[in-house]
Amino acid sequence: MPTKKTDLTALTKLGKTAKASRSLEVFPNHAPGKIEVTLHCTEFTCICPMTGQPDYADIEIFYIPDKFVVESKSMKLYLETFRSVGVFHEHLAVDIGEDFVKFVKPLAVNVTVKFHVRGGIAIDATWKWYKK
């Protein structure tokens, strides 16, 4: 099914100059519960809350959309807001996951953050949520 003009009416960031913000835009899903989507971010940065040193990570968000699909530019701008934020790796997975559920309202979502090695240790954290 092709994208309809009405699918685009709520989008304010796509195709425009937009600032990073802690919000996500969505568009209607034409196949609720019948598709799986995985978003890959390989250039994520934030800072250590204790030292202020930069941390780098790959983020994977797997979800099963219900009525809405996340618009990818808004996801990119959302992730940008963490660049100057001090956050522990494990907290990041929770923060992204809870915001994703709030804005996208999926049937299920898994957020995995895979931080690069720092101090000899790499940390992966996964947050999971399923609609009841």
Reported as a single tens digit per residue, the pLDDT across 81-106 is: 999 999 999 999 999 999 999 999 99
> Can you tell me the distance from the alpha carbon of 51 to that of 61, in angstroms, rounded to the nearest whole number?
27
> Can you tell me the distance from the alpha carbon of 130 to that of 101, in angstroms, rounded to the nearest whole number?
9
Q: Is 56 helix (H, G, I), strand (E, B) or coil?
A: strand
Confidence of residue 132 (pLDDT cuts 50, 70, 90): confident
Mean of pLDDT values over 7-23: 80
Give the CATH number, domain containing residue 41.
Answer: 3.30.1130.10
Confidence of residue 2 (pLDDT cuts 50, 70, 90): confident
Structural domain tally of the chain?
Answer: 1
Please, is 120 exposed, middle or buried when counting C-beta atoms within 10 Å of its C-beta (0-12, 13-18, 19+)? exposed
The two tokens of residue 68 are 């809405």
Q: Pick from 108, 63, 56: which is nearest to 82 by CA?
A: 56
Q: Is 24 helix (H, G, I), strand (E, B) or coil?
A: coil
Mean pLDDT of the chain: 93
DSSP 91-124: HHHHHHHHHHHHHH--SEEEEEEEEPPBTTB--E
- Is 19 a member of any domain? no
- Is 22 a member of any domain? no
> Can you tell me the distance from the alpha carbon of 73 to that of 117, in angstroms, rounded to the nearest whole number?
28
Q: Which positions are catalytic?
A: 48, 55
- Is 52 a member of any domain? yes
- Is 54 a member of any domain? yes
- Is 70 a member of any domain? yes
Q: Is 38 a residue whose pLDDT tops 80?
A: yes
- Is 11 a member of any domain? no
Q: What is the pLDDT of residue 97?
A: 98
Q: What is the pLDDT of residue 14?
A: 76
Range of the domain at 94: 28-130
- Is 97 a member of any domain? yes
- Is 74 a member of any domain? yes
57, 83 in Cβ contact below 8 A? Answer: no
